[in-house]
Amino acid sequence: MVGVGGVVAAAALGGGAARGAYRLLNARPPGGRECWIRKNNRGRELTLLEGPAVTLGVAAAALLAPGLPSTLRLAGCGAALGAGAVGLYDDLNERGAAKGFRGHLSALAHGEVTTGAVKILGIGAIGLAAGAVVRRDPLDRVLAGLVVAGAANVVNLFDLRPGRATKAAVIGAAGGVLRGSPSGLLTAAALGGAAALLPEDLGEQAMLGDCGANALGAALGVAAAARASRTGLVGLAAALAALTAASEKVSFTKVIAATPPLRAIDEWGRIPKQGDA
Protein backbone atom coordinates (compact mmCIF):
# COMPACT_ATOMS: atom_id res chain seq x y z
CA MET A 1 0.00 0.00 0.00
CA VAL A 2 1.11 3.57 -0.73
CA GLY A 3 0.83 6.11 2.05
CA VAL A 4 -0.31 9.71 1.97
CA GLY A 5 3.29 10.88 2.26
CA GLY A 6 4.27 9.09 -0.93
CA VAL A 7 1.36 10.59 -2.84
CA VAL A 8 2.16 14.09 -1.60
CA ALA A 9 5.84 13.65 -2.46
CA ALA A 10 5.02 12.49 -5.99
CA ALA A 11 2.65 15.41 -6.57
CA ALA A 12 5.19 17.86 -5.15
CA LEU A 13 7.92 16.46 -7.39
CA GLY A 14 5.73 16.80 -10.46
CA GLY A 15 4.67 20.31 -9.51
CA GLY A 16 8.13 21.50 -8.56
CA ALA A 17 9.72 20.10 -11.70
CA ALA A 18 7.01 21.60 -13.92
CA ARG A 19 7.35 25.05 -12.35
CA GLY A 20 11.14 24.91 -12.56
CA ALA A 21 11.01 23.89 -16.22
CA TYR A 22 8.50 26.64 -17.00
CA ARG A 23 10.70 29.25 -15.37
CA LEU A 24 13.77 28.12 -17.32
CA LEU A 25 11.93 27.86 -20.64
CA ASN A 26 10.39 31.30 -20.19
CA ALA A 27 13.79 32.79 -19.46
CA ARG A 28 15.27 31.44 -22.69
CA PRO A 29 12.52 30.15 -25.03
CA PRO A 30 13.99 27.71 -27.60
CA GLY A 31 13.87 29.31 -31.04
CA GLY A 32 12.74 32.65 -29.64
CA ARG A 33 9.62 33.75 -27.79
CA GLU A 34 7.56 34.47 -30.90
CA CYS A 35 7.43 30.89 -32.13
CA TRP A 36 5.63 29.89 -28.89
CA ILE A 37 2.96 32.60 -28.96
CA ARG A 38 -0.60 31.72 -29.96
CA LYS A 39 -4.02 33.37 -29.56
CA ASN A 40 -6.75 31.68 -27.54
CA ASN A 41 -10.52 31.69 -28.15
CA ARG A 42 -10.79 35.24 -26.79
CA GLY A 43 -7.95 36.60 -28.90
CA ARG A 44 -5.49 36.85 -25.99
CA GLU A 45 -1.85 36.08 -26.72
CA LEU A 46 -0.36 33.33 -24.58
CA THR A 47 2.58 30.95 -24.64
CA LEU A 48 2.70 27.25 -25.46
CA LEU A 49 5.63 26.76 -23.07
CA GLU A 50 3.30 25.37 -20.41
CA GLY A 51 3.10 22.16 -22.44
CA PRO A 52 6.82 21.30 -22.50
CA ALA A 53 7.10 22.33 -18.84
CA VAL A 54 4.30 19.97 -17.76
CA THR A 55 5.75 17.19 -19.92
CA LEU A 56 9.17 17.53 -18.31
CA GLY A 57 7.65 17.80 -14.84
CA VAL A 58 5.63 14.61 -15.23
CA ALA A 59 8.55 12.71 -16.74
CA ALA A 60 10.95 13.84 -14.00
CA ALA A 61 8.51 12.91 -11.24
CA ALA A 62 7.94 9.49 -12.82
CA LEU A 63 11.69 8.87 -12.65
CA LEU A 64 12.25 10.25 -9.15
CA ALA A 65 9.10 9.57 -7.12
CA PRO A 66 9.90 7.12 -4.28
CA GLY A 67 8.01 3.83 -4.34
CA LEU A 68 7.23 3.55 -8.06
CA PRO A 69 7.93 0.12 -9.59
CA SER A 70 10.51 0.15 -12.37
CA THR A 71 7.93 -0.76 -15.03
CA LEU A 72 5.79 2.23 -14.10
CA ARG A 73 8.85 4.50 -14.07
CA LEU A 74 9.83 3.43 -17.57
CA ALA A 75 6.33 3.43 -19.05
CA GLY A 76 5.21 6.64 -17.34
CA CYS A 77 8.30 8.64 -18.21
CA GLY A 78 8.47 7.27 -21.76
CA ALA A 79 4.79 7.81 -22.49
CA ALA A 80 4.87 11.38 -21.17
CA LEU A 81 7.98 12.31 -23.16
CA GLY A 82 6.86 10.51 -26.32
CA ALA A 83 3.30 11.83 -26.35
CA GLY A 84 4.56 15.28 -25.43
CA ALA A 85 7.07 15.21 -28.28
CA VAL A 86 4.56 14.32 -31.01
CA GLY A 87 2.11 16.82 -29.53
CA LEU A 88 4.79 19.51 -29.65
CA TYR A 89 5.48 18.65 -33.28
CA ASP A 90 1.80 19.29 -34.03
CA ASP A 91 1.76 22.49 -31.95
CA LEU A 92 4.71 24.05 -33.75
CA ASN A 93 4.26 22.70 -37.28
CA GLU A 94 0.51 22.32 -37.74
CA ARG A 95 -0.47 21.97 -41.37
CA GLY A 96 -3.51 20.82 -43.29
CA ALA A 97 -7.13 21.88 -42.92
CA ALA A 98 -8.31 18.55 -41.49
CA LYS A 99 -9.74 18.58 -37.97
CA GLY A 100 -10.59 15.82 -35.55
CA PHE A 101 -9.60 12.17 -35.45
CA ARG A 102 -11.72 11.22 -38.45
CA GLY A 103 -10.60 14.24 -40.48
CA HIS A 104 -6.90 13.48 -40.08
CA LEU A 105 -7.33 9.79 -40.93
CA SER A 106 -9.48 10.68 -43.95
CA ALA A 107 -6.78 13.07 -45.17
CA LEU A 108 -4.18 10.35 -44.67
CA ALA A 109 -6.28 7.90 -46.70
CA HIS A 110 -6.22 10.43 -49.56
CA GLY A 111 -2.45 10.79 -49.40
CA GLU A 112 -2.24 13.96 -47.29
CA VAL A 113 -0.02 13.56 -44.23
CA THR A 114 -1.18 16.18 -41.73
CA THR A 115 0.67 16.89 -38.51
CA GLY A 116 -2.43 15.61 -36.74
CA ALA A 117 -2.10 12.27 -38.50
CA VAL A 118 1.55 12.06 -37.47
CA LYS A 119 0.46 12.72 -33.89
CA ILE A 120 -2.30 10.07 -34.01
CA LEU A 121 0.04 7.41 -35.37
CA GLY A 122 2.83 8.41 -32.99
CA ILE A 123 0.65 8.33 -29.90
CA GLY A 124 -0.79 4.98 -30.99
CA ALA A 125 2.72 3.51 -31.20
CA ILE A 126 3.71 5.08 -27.87
CA GLY A 127 0.58 3.68 -26.24
CA LEU A 128 1.29 0.15 -27.46
CA ALA A 129 4.90 0.38 -26.28
CA ALA A 130 3.82 1.56 -22.83
CA GLY A 131 1.16 -1.13 -22.66
CA ALA A 132 3.77 -3.77 -23.42
CA VAL A 133 5.84 -2.56 -20.47
CA VAL A 134 3.11 -2.54 -17.81
CA ARG A 135 1.24 -5.72 -18.84
CA ARG A 136 2.37 -9.25 -19.68
CA ASP A 137 -0.54 -10.93 -21.45
CA PRO A 138 -0.62 -10.08 -25.21
CA LEU A 139 -4.30 -9.12 -25.17
CA ASP A 140 -3.83 -7.03 -22.03
CA ARG A 141 -0.91 -5.27 -23.70
CA VAL A 142 -3.05 -4.24 -26.65
CA LEU A 143 -5.90 -3.10 -24.40
CA ALA A 144 -3.46 -1.16 -22.22
CA GLY A 145 -2.03 0.50 -25.32
CA LEU A 146 -5.52 1.60 -26.35
CA VAL A 147 -6.09 3.05 -22.88
CA VAL A 148 -2.82 5.02 -22.92
CA ALA A 149 -3.38 6.39 -26.43
CA GLY A 150 -7.07 7.05 -25.76
CA ALA A 151 -6.36 8.93 -22.54
CA ALA A 152 -3.76 11.10 -24.28
CA ASN A 153 -6.27 12.02 -26.97
CA VAL A 154 -9.25 12.60 -24.66
CA VAL A 155 -7.40 14.97 -22.32
CA ASN A 156 -6.39 16.94 -25.41
CA LEU A 157 -10.03 17.15 -26.51
CA PHE A 158 -10.78 19.17 -23.38
CA ASP A 159 -7.96 21.67 -23.95
CA LEU A 160 -10.23 24.24 -25.59
CA ARG A 161 -10.71 26.70 -22.72
CA PRO A 162 -8.39 27.92 -19.95
CA GLY A 163 -7.82 25.26 -17.31
CA ARG A 164 -10.41 22.84 -18.70
CA ALA A 165 -8.04 19.98 -19.55
CA THR A 166 -6.39 20.01 -16.13
CA LYS A 167 -9.76 20.13 -14.36
CA ALA A 168 -11.07 17.27 -16.48
CA ALA A 169 -7.94 15.23 -15.71
CA VAL A 170 -8.29 15.82 -11.97
CA ILE A 171 -11.98 14.85 -12.00
CA GLY A 172 -11.36 11.78 -14.12
CA ALA A 173 -8.21 10.48 -12.43
CA ALA A 174 -8.20 11.69 -8.82
CA GLY A 175 -9.84 8.44 -7.71
CA GLY A 176 -6.71 6.59 -8.79
CA VAL A 177 -4.69 8.50 -6.19
CA LEU A 178 -6.98 7.34 -3.40
CA ARG A 179 -6.67 3.61 -4.16
CA GLY A 180 -3.36 3.31 -2.34
CA SER A 181 -1.69 1.40 -5.19
CA PRO A 182 1.76 2.21 -6.66
CA SER A 183 0.11 3.47 -9.83
CA GLY A 184 -1.48 6.17 -7.67
CA LEU A 185 1.97 7.70 -7.32
CA LEU A 186 2.23 8.15 -11.08
CA THR A 187 -1.28 9.63 -11.14
CA ALA A 188 -0.31 12.06 -8.37
CA ALA A 189 2.89 13.04 -10.19
CA ALA A 190 1.00 13.76 -13.42
CA LEU A 191 -1.78 15.73 -11.76
CA GLY A 192 0.75 17.64 -9.62
CA GLY A 193 2.70 18.69 -12.70
CA ALA A 194 -0.40 20.03 -14.46
CA ALA A 195 -1.93 21.64 -11.36
CA ALA A 196 1.27 23.56 -10.62
CA LEU A 197 0.77 25.61 -13.79
CA LEU A 198 -3.01 25.89 -13.53
CA PRO A 199 -2.80 29.55 -12.36
CA GLU A 200 -1.00 30.54 -15.57
CA ASP A 201 -3.51 28.52 -17.60
CA LEU A 202 -6.55 30.06 -15.91
CA GLY A 203 -4.96 33.49 -16.12
CA GLU A 204 -4.65 33.10 -19.92
CA GLN A 205 -0.89 33.52 -19.81
CA ALA A 206 -0.09 29.99 -21.02
CA MET A 207 -1.74 26.86 -22.38
CA LEU A 208 -1.05 23.13 -22.35
CA GLY A 209 -1.40 22.71 -26.09
CA ASP A 210 -1.21 19.27 -27.65
CA CYS A 211 2.20 18.76 -26.03
CA GLY A 212 1.10 19.14 -22.42
CA ALA A 213 -2.37 17.65 -22.80
CA ASN A 214 -1.08 14.55 -24.61
CA ALA A 215 1.71 14.03 -22.08
CA LEU A 216 -0.66 14.43 -19.11
CA GLY A 217 -3.23 12.06 -20.61
CA ALA A 218 -0.63 9.45 -21.57
CA ALA A 219 0.84 9.34 -18.06
CA LEU A 220 -2.61 9.02 -16.51
CA GLY A 221 -3.41 6.30 -19.04
CA VAL A 222 -0.32 4.34 -18.04
CA ALA A 223 -1.31 4.55 -14.38
CA ALA A 224 -4.86 3.40 -15.12
CA ALA A 225 -3.74 0.59 -17.43
CA ALA A 226 -1.24 -0.73 -14.90
CA ARG A 227 -3.80 -1.25 -12.12
CA ALA A 228 -6.90 -2.29 -14.08
CA SER A 229 -8.18 -5.83 -14.46
CA ARG A 230 -8.84 -7.12 -17.97
CA THR A 231 -12.50 -6.19 -17.59
CA GLY A 232 -11.40 -2.78 -16.40
CA LEU A 233 -9.13 -2.37 -19.42
CA VAL A 234 -11.99 -3.20 -21.76
CA GLY A 235 -14.25 -0.72 -19.99
CA LEU A 236 -11.64 2.05 -20.02
CA ALA A 237 -10.77 1.51 -23.68
CA ALA A 238 -14.46 1.51 -24.63
CA ALA A 239 -15.21 4.66 -22.62
CA LEU A 240 -12.27 6.56 -24.12
CA ALA A 241 -13.23 5.42 -27.63
CA ALA A 242 -16.82 6.55 -27.02
CA LEU A 243 -15.66 10.00 -25.89
CA THR A 244 -13.44 10.32 -28.95
CA ALA A 245 -16.31 9.29 -31.24
CA ALA A 246 -18.71 11.67 -29.47
CA SER A 247 -16.31 14.58 -29.99
CA GLU A 248 -16.73 14.15 -33.75
CA LYS A 249 -20.48 14.76 -33.46
CA VAL A 250 -21.00 16.82 -30.30
CA SER A 251 -19.36 20.01 -29.04
CA PHE A 252 -18.09 19.39 -25.51
CA THR A 253 -18.05 23.17 -25.01
CA LYS A 254 -21.78 23.43 -25.80
CA VAL A 255 -22.61 20.49 -23.53
CA ILE A 256 -20.65 22.03 -20.65
CA ALA A 257 -22.23 25.45 -21.20
CA ALA A 258 -25.72 23.90 -21.13
CA THR A 259 -25.11 21.95 -17.89
CA PRO A 260 -25.00 24.28 -14.84
CA PRO A 261 -22.81 22.12 -12.54
CA LEU A 262 -20.30 21.48 -15.33
CA ARG A 263 -20.37 25.12 -16.36
CA ALA A 264 -19.64 26.23 -12.79
CA ILE A 265 -16.63 23.92 -12.56
CA ASP A 266 -15.45 24.91 -16.02
CA GLU A 267 -15.58 28.65 -15.27
CA TRP A 268 -14.07 28.46 -11.79
CA GLY A 269 -10.89 30.52 -11.52
CA ARG A 270 -11.02 32.05 -14.97
CA ILE A 271 -10.75 35.71 -15.91
CA PRO A 272 -14.39 36.87 -16.12
CA LYS A 273 -15.77 37.80 -19.51
CA GLN A 274 -16.26 41.49 -20.15
CA GLY A 275 -19.46 42.56 -18.43
CA ASP A 276 -19.47 39.65 -15.94
CA ALA A 277 -19.45 40.39 -12.23
* pTM, two decimal places: 0.91
pLDDT at 276: 47
CA R_g for the chain: 18
Low-confidence ranges of the chain (pLDDT < 50): 275-277
Write the secondary structure of the chain as one string of H (helix), E (strand) and C (coil).
Answer: CCCHHHHHHHHHHHHHHHHHHHHHHHHCCCCCHHHHEEECCCCCEEECCHHHHHHHHHHHHHHHCCCCCHHHHHHHHHHHHHHHHHHHHHHHHCCCCCCHHHHHHHHHHCCCCCHHHHHHHHHHHHHHHHHHHHCCCHHHHHHHHHHHHHHHHHHHHCCCCCCHHHHHHHHHHHHHHHCCCCHHHHHHHHHHHHHHCHHHHHCCCECCHHHHHHHHHHHHHHHHHHHCCHHHHHHHHHHHHHHHHHHHHCCHHHHHHCCHHHHHHHHCCCCCCCCCC
In the predicted model, what is the mean pLDDT of the chain?
A: 90
pLDDT at 4: 83
Which amino acid is residue 226, in one-letter code? A
Q: pLDDT tens digits, residue range 41-73? A: 888 899 999 999 999 999 999 999 988 999 999
Q: pLDDT tens digits, residue range 98-136? A: 566 666 566 666 566 677 778 888 999 999 999 999 999
Q: What angle do CA 113, 118, 123 make, to 5 degrees?
A: 155
